[in-house]
C-alpha cells in the first residue's frame, strides 16, 4: 500500500430512493364499462447497501465520490401492476469498515466479514394503489397513497485495519524493519522518524504452514491521543488488533518509561485497549552483549511478556513468533 493509495476516511452524501406512488385506476373494458378499482402499488425505493470485500485494503475507490443516490421506485399502474423497484446502490468496502453519522458519531453499520451485507439507508416504501381502499360502502375510491421519501444523510466511512497483531511504538523503533523481516511486506524504511505514514499489513508464516496477520501502525508520540504527530488518524487502527506488540529499542534511555508512555497514550485514547493481550519486544539488541541484556531484564515492566530481538541480525525472531502464536491461541 503506497502512501498515496491508502485512504481510511471518506465522507459521502448518501440518499436512498423514494417509493413510487400508488395508482388511482379503474378497470375499463369493452363489456365492463364500470369495473372496480385496479390501481397497483408503487415500487420500493432503492437501498444504500454496504458489502464486505476481502480483496480490498483501502477506501481509495471512494475518495472522489461526493454523492451516492439510489434509484426511485416507479408508480403503480392499472391491472394492479406494481411499479418497478428503485435500483439499489451497493458500496464495496474492505473488512474493518464502519459507517458513522457525523453529527451524532453513532455507528450505523460495521463490516467485519467477507460477503457481509448491511442496509445502511432503507429506501422509501411504495404507496398503496386504490385497489386496497375499496370497501362495501366505497366501491370506487379515487385516492391512493404517495410513496415514502428516501433517507438522506452525510455518512463518514472509516477503515480500522483488521489484524492479529498490531505493532505499537515510537517513530523509528524498528516496526517496519520487523515487518519486512517476518513477512513479504515491503514498507518504506529509513533511519528517521515517521518513515511510515500509512499502516502496512504483512502475513507472517509460522510453523506447520500456519500464519497470522501483522500490522505496522505509524509511530505514536506522547500526546498522540490529542492529535499530536500522526495522532488520532492511526490510533483507531489499533482497536481491531487481537494482540498489541510493543516495540522499544534497546538504546532507549528508559525502556520501562517508554513502554508506559505508549500504554498511557492508548489508555487516554480508548481505555478498552488495555484489555488486549500485550507483548514487549526490545528491538535492536544486536548492539547489546549478554551481560547488558541480563542487566536490563530486572528493569523491564512487570505483567508483560518480554523478548529481546534484532530484525537485522535475526536474533530472537523465532522466539517472538512462538510467543505471539501462544498468546493468540490463549
What is the average pLDDT across 104-114? 93
- State the chain's maximal CA–CA distance in angstroms: 107
Of residues 95, 119, 122, the one with CA closest to residue 109: 119
Which residue did the predictor score with more confidence, 10 or 226? 10
Average pLDDT, the chain: 86
* Res 196 pLDDT > 70: no
Task: Tally Cβ neighbours within 10 Å of residue 184.
Answer: 10
Q: Which of 77-81, 111-115, 198-202, 259-263 has the lowest mean pLDDT?
A: 198-202
The string of pLDDT tens digits covering residues 129-163 is 999 999 888 988 999 999 999 999 999 999 887 78
- The residue among 235 and 159 whose pLDDT is bigger is 159
Please indicate whether residue 139 or residue 70 has the higher confidence score (pLDDT). 70
Side by side, the strands of the sheet bearing 211-216 are 200-205, 211-216, 163-168, 241-249, 277-283, 305-308
CATH ID of 163-329, from 3.40.50.300, 2.60.120.480, 2.30.110.10, 3.30.2270.10: 3.40.50.300
pLDDT band at 188 (very low <50, low <70, confident <90, very high): low
Query: CA-to-CA distance for 65 and 10, rounded, in angstroms?
Result: 9
| Set of cell numbers at residue 288 | 547489546
Amino acid 229: pLDDT: 43
Fold type of domain 1-159: Spo0b-associated Gtp-binding Protein; Chain: A, (2.70.210)
Most confident segment among 143-152, 188-197, 267-276: 143-152
Give tens-digit pLDDT for 215-234: 887 766 555 445 444 445 66
Domain positions in the chain are 1-159, 163-329
CB 199 within 8 A of CB 206: no
Residue 280 has pLDDT above 90, yes or no: yes
Amino acid at each position: 500500500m503506497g502512501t498515496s493509495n491508502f485512504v481510511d476516511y471518506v465522507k459521502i452524501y448518501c440518499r436512498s430512493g423514494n417509493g413510487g406512488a400508488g395508482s388511482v385506476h379503474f378497470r375499463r373494458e369493452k363489456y365492463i364499462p364500470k369495473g372496480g378499482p385496479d390501481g397497483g402499488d408503487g415500487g420500493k425505493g432503492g437501498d444504500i447497501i454496504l458489502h464486505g470485500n476481502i480483496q480490498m485494503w483501502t477506501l481509495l475507490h471512494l475518495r472522489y465520490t461526493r454523492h451516492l443516490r439510489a434509484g426511485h421506485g416507479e408508480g403503480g399502474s392499472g391491472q394492479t401492476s406494481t411499479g418497478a423497484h428503485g435500483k439499489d446502490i451497493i458500496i464495496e468496502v474492505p473488512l474493518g469498515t464502519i459507517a458513522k453519522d457525523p453529527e451524532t458519531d453513532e455507528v450505523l453499520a460495521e463490516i467485519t466479514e467477507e460477503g457481509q451485507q448491511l442496509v445502511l439507508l432503507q429506501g422509501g416504501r411504495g404507496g398503496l394503489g386504490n385497489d386496497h381502499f375499496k370497501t362495501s360502502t366505497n366501491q370506487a375510491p379515487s385516492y391512493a397513497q404517495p410513496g415514502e421519501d428516501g433517507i438522506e444523510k452525510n455518512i463518514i466511512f472509516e477503515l480500522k485495519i483488521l489484524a492479529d497483531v498490531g505493532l505499537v511504538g515510537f517513530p523509528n523503533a524498528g516496526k517496519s524493519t520487523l515487518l519486512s523481516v517476518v513477512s513479504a511486506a515491503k514498507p518504506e524504511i529509513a533511519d528517521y522518524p515517521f518513515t511510515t505514514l500509512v499502516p502496512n499489513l504483512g502475513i507472517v508464516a509460522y510453523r506447520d504452514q500456519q500464519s497470522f496477520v501483522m500490522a505496522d501502525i505509524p509511530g505514536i508520540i506522547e500526546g498522540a491521543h490529542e492529535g499530536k504527530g500522526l495522532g488520532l488518524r492511526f490510533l483507531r487502527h489499533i482497536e481491531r488488533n487481537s494482540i498489541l506488540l510493543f516495540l522499544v529499542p534497546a538504546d532507549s534511555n528508559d525502556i520501562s518509561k517508554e513502554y508506559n508512555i505508549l500504554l498511557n497514550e492508548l489508555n487516554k485514547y480508548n481505555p478498552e485497549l488495555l484489555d488486549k493481550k500485550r507483548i514487549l519486544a526490545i528491538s535492536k539488541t544486536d548492539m547489546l552483549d549478554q551481560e547488558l541484556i541480563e542487566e536490563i531484564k530486572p528493569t523491564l515492566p512487570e505483567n508483560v511478556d518480554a523478548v529481546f530481538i534484532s530484525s537485522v541480525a535475526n536474533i530472537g525472531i523465532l522466539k517472538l513468533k512462538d510467543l505471539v502464536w501462544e498468546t493468540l491461541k490463549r
